[in-house]
Structure 1
């Protein structure tokens, strides 16, 4: 029996909250990358913080959006191990992409390579997150929408990495973060449009409350990381760094022969 699926069980609350998390993660990733270029002796630390922040933002976006996910006449559970694995995967892949552009520059080859790795990480995270769903039925996906989402995610990931090493002024990076947050959140809902569910039974007990508690517990860690990262970035002396300051202070990245040009 085909199930009725909703992604907006709480109305606009979950998509708006998901967007805020995606934009916050993107903003922290951009600002941390700017600091990594400003402080080459601490580049690895700032890139690591940016990677964790961006990855947690993407992951939090997905599972906050999933709070609004509901299947009529069915109980939805999540496998804890797969849920946590999806967080590790997206952080690891974002880190590979950010470290590549942070150390090797923004040449087309590096950007595309890093974008493919990061985009694959985001897609894999979504796949693991969806496979973590345990329901009395089977999940099916429209292949055309899945392929479109995959390609779109790689493009967005590449654009995000380009912005990370190209946009340094505070207000410009904030604007870029808002756009990236919208794009990342959009990939989630586009991907969810590919989903259909065939039920093999009916739920006898409504456990939506326990499911909500599980997701909130899972989200507690990443949200705490984003809060700590936000505090570190906000109280950093270079919060208001300008492009001119960055150009004067940044040595050429290894293998590029020139400093990152300003925008």
Structure 2
């Protein structure tokens, strides 16, 4: 059996991946809250931004954590199309979950459907990402831990969506994001501890790209997207602020007259 190292760079990758998960969750919750305060096209755009933030955050968290994944006795490569597919799956499924909540008539049912969809999406993104791993040997999964990781994903997603519907204060959003980040990270590492690898040493070249060639640049790009979007969302006025400034301007005009 190959010895698995989940943190080849020490604490750097677990901590950085947790931070990415938290930023994605915070941005997603903020956008979902903004969406629920608007209607029409504006609501749809906020929900799309929320879904892209959560999807990007989760995916970046997974692959930043994977940068620290090493197996003794074999190199690791990543299948590029499968890795990209796992990102698209994350985006699509999180969108479905977020839209279920954003447009659901019955809140409880919307929450249940949204949480289940999003949780299964997070889990499928993770295992698709794992399926993209190429190494010399066979990868095995322990079924109980795999099942546990899926349960954690569903519970975490449901809790996050519940938070988006019920939380208003900035402090509460921050706490919810930290909890969501912790849940996504624990799901990831639970799933990783379900993995065992039987290494078959070989000198043959592995197909795919190395983490540094492909995953690192993509994670940096998506991370930058998250930071820029966060800045934009933080600076854009809420509906209430816009109405207040409009009424202030009206008062100024009426006084001027």
Q: Under a length normalisation based on structure 2, what TM-score does the superposition of the two structures give? A: 0.88
CA contact (8 A) 1:73 1:202 kept: no
**Bigger shift: residues 209-218 or 40-49:** 209-218
Q: Does the Cα contact within 8 Å between 2:13 and 2:65 map onto a contact in 1?
A: yes
> Deviation at 1:14?
0.4
Q: Over residues 121-177 of structure 1, what are the superposed CA-to-partner deviations in whole Å (9 max), with x where a residue is unaligned?
A: 111101110000011111000001011111121111111111111112111111110
Aligned twin of 2:17: 18
Q: Which residue of 2 aligns with 1:126?
A: 126
Displacement after TM superposition at 1:108 (Å): 2.2
SS across alignment from 1:139? strand
CA distance in structure 2 between the aligned counterparts of 1:94 and 1:53, rounded to whole angstroms: 9
Paired residues of 1:18 and 1:61 also in contact (CA < 8 A): yes
**4+ residue runs of structure 1 moved beyond 3 angstroms?**
202-205
Structure 1: runs of 5 or more not aligned: 242-248, 250-263
Question: Normalized per residue, which structure has more helix?
Answer: 2
- The whole-number CA distance in structure 1 between the counterparts of 2:110 and 2:192 is 30
Structure 1 equivalent of residue 5 of structure 2: 6
1:234 counterpart residue number = 234
Cα offsets for 1:97-133 (capped at 9, x unmatched): 1111111156222211111111111111011100000
Cα shift at 1:240: 9.9
Change (3 A) 1:230 1:135: same
**Alignment gaps of 5+ in structure 2:** 244-257
User: In the alignment, which residue of structure 1 is the partner of 2:51?
Assistant: 51
Aligned length: 239
Give 1:94's aligned residue: 94
Tell me, yes or no, if structure 1 residue 159 matches structure 2 residue 156: no
Contact map agreement 2:34 2:46 (CA 8 A) in 1: yes
Secondary structure, aligned partner of 1:102 = helix
Cα offset for 1:202? Answer: 4.0
In structure 2, the partner of 1:82 is 82
Distance 1:193 1:98 in 2: 29
- Counterpart secondary structure, 1:197: strand
Deviation at 1:36, TM superposition (A): 0.7
Once the two structures are TM-superposed, the CA of residue 224 in structure 1 deviates from its matched residue by: 2.7
